[in-house]
Each structure stands twice: as structure tokens, then as C-alpha cells.
Chains A and B, each alone.
Chain A
Amino acid sequence: MREELHRFFRAARGAGVRVSPAESIDAMKAVADVGFTDRNILRDTLLLTLAKSQDEKQALGECFDLFFSRPEVREKEAAPEDAAESGKAESPAGESEPGDASAQAPELGELAQMLLSRDRNAIAAAMANAANVASLSDIRYFTQRGIFSTRILESLGIERLRVDLDALTATSPAEAERLAAALGALRENVRDAVNQALLLYGLARLERRQVEQMKVLIRAIARRLRERYSKPRKRQRRGHLDIRRTLRRNAAWGGVPFLTSWKRRHRDRPKIVAICDVSGSVAQVSDFFLLLIHSLHEVVDDVRSFAFSGHLIEVSDILDTKSPEAAMSEIMSKVGFGSSDYGGSLVDFEKGWIRTVTPKTTVIVLGDARTNNLDPHADILRRISERSKRLVWLNPEGCIAWGWGDSEMPRYAAFCSVVRQCATAKQLERAVSDIVAAYQ
């Protein structure tokens, strides 16, 4: 049974739930306590001990349902390991029941006997055993399906079965036909089992996993930034004495300054307008950036995001209300993957949203500035720059490439307060951190 649980933990990790050794120990303890009889209680128990958030609970619940609904009759057996043992022990004993077949061909192999006797439980148990031997839970890619199927069939004893089949065809064709049909069904079953294992353990969910990783990374970065910048600012009792306020405060004591007031620098919470290129070449970085900016609610008061490739739209609402995957796919379906038109998009921005840029706003443009030889409209960028507190340009390309080909970076760079390269998560974190720090 321990084996089974361990395999479930592995499946859970595959589904994106982070299960640490300590958690698996807790889960083991808990499961040892509640037992396996009641599936609902078992499900609750695992969800309580392993999942640490609502998302994880859902993923783990799905994983549980998938894991414990084997394609075979397995689910009514609480302990497959034991069943495997007993299944082995039983199958010779089972000879007496289909006496007909075994009497006729006493030299048949174990597998053949099992198949002919149609002992589904024994077959299922043997299959589970074989899957263990073939270490089915190591399957990762769908190209491995064939190998694993063959391995399972081999350890089930298919060699012997073939010999038996040949022998039977000679002696009793009817029996042979039955056996061949049963073999076909067995192959089917094995294929199902392998497919399911692939779904559970494999990288078939590559996409989803990457999103999970991205989410984890973004959460970590957001937390770091939050911890650094959302603290109550403690530097109040420092600097210059505010004489006017001190006198007024101490008027009650005849102007003897019991209580002092200090001049305070007023600090704005960051306001950010993010304009992101989401055309093919930059899309990956923009995704990450948009999601990061929008997970910074506690640090950044006010974020407006815009995405463009051919034309520009506002995407703040989409990002705020939808889950990351859904938001990204919606944005992509609306504007993504076109060839980028920087000039046109800047015109769109000036027409629709130039008012969102105030002297407190940091404007961040993320893009490679490759205009496809269209008019770059750098004058609009100048006007945006004049209205805003800072204009930061993040370019996924290295600075060597700036200005080559259709890159208009040097022309745009003239109006930016900062231009920096950012292609990796680390660089993005630095960039965002600097932007937020400018408000401290």
C-alpha cells in the first residue's frame, strides 16, 4: 500500500502540486489512521494534508479521481500489492473452476490459464504487478508508450503465451481462438493502463506545467518585491524639524516643544502604465511581465496595461479578473501574433489613453522596437515621456542588436529615462524592482 501512496505522490507532483517529503510523511501518518475503506474520507485526508491552496486542492482532487479509477477492475481492491500476491497464489488454485480448459491442456502457462479462466481479478492483479516490474511510473514521453507496453506484456509472460497459442492451434482450434481473443483484450487493457500512466506521470502536460512553474516564479518574485516595498515606512522620525507644525502642536504648553513634528517627504504609491508588445518574438517575455505587474497589487496602486502588435488594446481588466492562462490566451486571441506596428499602436495609445499618463506615472514599454520599417512615430513617445514621471523601455534583445535591421531602438531611446535589456526572469525582477524603488 505504501508503494501505491508513493506512486500517488509522484502523480500529484506531476499534476503541479508540490509535495515535500515532510508532507508525504504527514499524509502517510494520516492515511494510516483513516485507512482505505472509505474513498471519500481518503480523498479528504489527502487533500487536507497535501494541498496548500485552493488551486492545488482542485488539481489534486482531479489527480485523485484519475489515479484511483484504474481502467481495470482494480478499484474495489483496497490493497493491490496484497491482491497481487494473493492473485498469484490463487491462479493455480483457479484451475479447478474452468476445469475444462485446464484438463485439456495442463501444460498451459500461467497467463494462458488466467486468460482462459477469465479471472478478471487475477488478470488485473497480474497486470498491476507487471506494471510495477516494468516501473511504469517512470514513463515521461508519449513515444515511450510502445516500450512500456512491450515490457509489461513481457513480464506478464507473453512469450510463454505465444508458445501455448501455437500448441493450442494444433490441438484445439476453438480454444486457441478464445485465447487469441483474450490476448487481444489484454493488449487493449495494457495500452489503456500505459496511456493512463502517461497522463498521470508523463510530460503530456508540458504546457500546463510550464504555466505552473511560471506562476511559482512570479509568486516568489512578487513576494520578494512586496516584502521589500510594502513595509510601513519607518523613516518618519528623521530629517528636518517641521517648525511650523511643532509650534502648532505644542501651543497647549505655551510653545514649549514637548512633541516634535518632522518634515515628511510625501511618497507616492507607484502608478504604472505598461505597454507591451505581444507579437511573436516578444510574447514570452510580455506574458511574464504582465502577469508579474498584475500580481503586485500590494505594492503598486494602479496599473493599466496595454497590449499591442498590429493595434493596441487595454488589457487590465482581463488580467485582473481571469486566471493567468485564460487571460493570456484571451489577450493573444485579441491582438497577439501579428506583425508589430509600433507607430500605429502609439497613435492608438495617444488617441485613447494619453490621459492615463500623469506626472506620477511610470510608463513601461516592453518590446524589441522592430517596426517592420513602418513609421515609428517617435514624437508620440516624446509626448508620453513629457507627461510621465519616468519612461522605461525594456527590450528583450541585447543592446548589440539595437539599431540593426528594422530596430528603431536608438530613436526611441532618446526619449526614455532608462533603457535596459530584459530577457530573463532575473532581469525582469531587477527592472521591476528598480521601477518600484524609484517611488520609495
Chain B
Amino acid sequence: MNNNLTADSIEAVTSGLASAGYIASRQIATAVYLAERIEKPILVEGPAGVGKTELAKALAAWRGLKMIRMQCYEGLDEAKALYEWKYAKQLLYTQILKDKLGEVLGGAETLAGALDRLHDFGDVFFSKEFVEPRPLLQALEQPAGCVLLVDEIDKSDAEFESLLLEILSDYQVSIPELGTVVALVKPTVILTSNGERDLSDALKRRCLHLHIGFPEQKLEERIVESRVPGISQSLRTQIIGFINQVRTLDLKKLPSVSETIDWARVLVLLQSTELDHETVKDTLNVLLKYEADIETTMPQVTTFVAKAGRQGVFG
């Protein structure tokens, strides 16, 4: 019983993501399903432009949750990621409350007495009022839960990774002055990485590891279909056929899904119904981002187009 249910709910994830415009493969759907069931973050790796960030957006859109995004970069620290004290507000308040302080302390005769009264007063200035929540803290404080996207974690420093560990495993953060803040509703966490550097084992251990590569031909066609409305079936097949051949070349940066979509849009804008080598040569710069890559591909265009054309007819 349980198993049929599982297959159904993975199916439901797929269709849910599809309703938000994201065509997911079985692996992706399984990962999202599991992440919700065993409450673990997903670490998504893969080349640029295969829809890692998009997955988080689609998930948030489907679930109707807020998406909180934290873009990582070198030098990102606690103050920008977790929380910061509102120093200006603290200062301002001390100035305004100066007179009140006088009143409170007025009765005391000795210094020790004044200090005692001040202690009774408590740590007003280091309370929730004065905390400026940054993305990570915000994510824990969402009453309805949210999707937390930690984008390009590999760009951040190794120290920052360690900072994330507490959040990822226990969904809580410790603020020395306030104590531990526990998530109201556990957020769905998605981390993305381009594999620029190896992440630490401690971080990997806390996550489900999902690798998104270039999609299969069928899947990519469906993605293009959903993202570029008004594109004809034959053109779609040809585009994908062509791109899959380009991916077999030795290029600096292989065209990924986002480039496919851009290119399809361009071709629709140019109102081409067939892939012909003139148009391809003119628009190759949409697909390839390096001069050297374009030079490598240029001589092959005619054969690729011919092959893709055949695929369009027979495939």
C-alpha cells in the first residue's frame, strides 16, 4: 500500500512542479519528495544553467511559500547571513532614554545601588527588538514556513559552511545574547553548487545529494515546450537534436538548458520554422559564450543541422 502511495506522491511532486513551470526528472522529484519526508536539505550540484536555482523557485511557487534567497560570495559572514544588531537604533534609543535612565537611577544613593537597579533593568538593548534578521534567521522565523535557497554555496568561504551546519541539521541558530532560535516551521532548504570547490564532508553529510546534469532529449523537449510557448514541434525537435550534437564537442562551456531556452526564444522571435544553417550561424552567439567555442562549432554547423533535420523528420 505504502509503496503505491509513494509512487503516487512522487508523481504528485512531478506534476506540482510542472504546474509551476518546472519539468522535473524522476530523480529530482524523488529528491524533493524525500527532502520533505525526512526533513533534510537538498544539495544540488551540476553545471551552470541546468535549473538548480529554478528548482527552488518552482518549489516555492507550487507550495505557495515565500522564497528566501541567500546568494553566497567570497567574504560572506555572519552579519550578512544570519543576524546583526541594529547599532544605530541602539544608540538612538540610549540617547532618547537618557532622562528615563536618570529617573530609574535617581533614587539610588551609592554607585553599587545604581548598578543593582541597572541589573534589574535587564538587557533591554540586546533583545529581539534590536536584532536585524538576515536571510537565515528570517527563514527560521517564517510562521508559514518557506523555501530557503542558499545559492552557489561553493563561492563562499569554508568558514561560512561551518556556520550553516547548525541550521541544516537542527533548523536552529544560536545567538549568544539571546539564546537559541528554533524554526517555527522547518523550512525546505535547497543549496546549490557549481562544484567550484569541494564542499566539506560535514556539509555533504547533512544533505541529500542531487546531481542535475544535462537532461535527456525527451525531457529537454518538454522543458522547451513549457518555457517557450508557440514553438512548433518540428523546430523543437531540431533545436534539441542540434544542441545535443554540440554537446558532444570539446567546448569550454557546453550549452545548457537555459541556453537552449534562450535560443528557442530567439528562433521563435525570428519567426523561423525550420533550422537552416544561415540562421544557426547568425544566432550561435546565443548558444555559445566563448569566441573559441563558436570557432570550434562553426565548421560543424552544416552537418549538425542536416542531422538534426533528419531527426526532426524521422525521430
Contacts and interface: CB of A to CB of B under 8 A. Distances in A.
Contacts of A34: 3, 6, 10, 30, 33-34
B268 interface: no
B86 interface: no
Contact of A52 (B74, B158, B209): B209
A178 interface: no
Given A30-B38, A44-B27, A53 B209 contact: yes
B210 A38 contact: no
Contacts of A332: none
Interface string A44-79: 110111011110010000000000000000000000
Interface stretch (A21-29, A255-263, A345-353): A21-29
Nearest to B37: A33
A172 interface: no
A41 B33 CA distance: 11
B278 interface: no
A37 interface: yes
B30 A45 contact: yes
Size category, A interface: 20 to 34
Q: Secondary structure of the A side of the interface?
A: helix
A51 B210 CA distance: 9
Given A44-B27, A223-B198, A29 B205 contact: no
A33 B6 contact: yes
B305 to A, nearest CB: 29
B31 A36 contact: no
B38 A48 contact: no
B34 A37 contact: no
Contacts of A219: 198
B10 A41 contact: yes
B7 interface: yes
B264 interface: no
A53 B198 CA distance: 10
Contacts of B45: 54
Given A48-B208, A52-B201, A40 B26 contact: yes
B80 interface: no
B197 A298 contact: yes
Contacts of A45: 30, 34
B6 A26 contact: no
B7 A38 contact: yes
A20 interface: yes
Size category, B interface: 20 to 34
B156 to A, nearest CB: 13
A321 to B, nearest CB: 10
Contacts, number: 70
Q: Which of B3, B10, B74, B158 has the most CB of A within 10 A?
A: B3
B3 A29 contact: no
B236 interface: no
A52 B205 contact: yes
Nearest to B42: A48
Contacts of A26: 38, 40
Q: Which of B38, B40, B208 has the most CB of A within 10 A?
A: B38
A60 B40 CA distance: 21
B248 interface: no
Contact of B6 (A41, A54, A232, A298): A41
Nearest to A40: B26
Contacts of A49: 34, 208
A44 B26 contact: yes
Given A48-B30, A48-B31, A38 B3 contact: yes
B271 interface: no
B281 interface: no
Contacts of B6: 33-35, 37-38, 41
B205 A22 contact: yes
Contacts of A36: 3
A105 to B, nearest CB: 42
A82 interface: no
Given A51-B209, A232-B75, 10 more contacts: A26-B40, A30-B37, A30-B38, A40-B26, A41-B30, A44-B30, A48-B210, A49-B208, A52-B201, A52-B209
21 contacts: A20-B205, A26-B38, A30-B34, A34-B33, A35-B3, A36-B3, A37-B6, A38-B7, A41-B6, A41-B10, A41-B30, A44-B31, A48-B27, A48-B30, A52-B201, A52-B209, A53-B204, A57-B209, A57-B211, A226-B197, A227-B158
Interface of B: 2-4, 6-7, 10, 26-27, 30-31, 33-34, 37-38, 40, 45, 74-75, 158, 197-198, 201, 204-205, 208-211
Closest 10 CB pairs of A and B: A35-B3, A37-B3, A52-B204, A44-B30, A48-B208, A34-B6, A33-B37, A29-B38, A35-B2, A44-B27
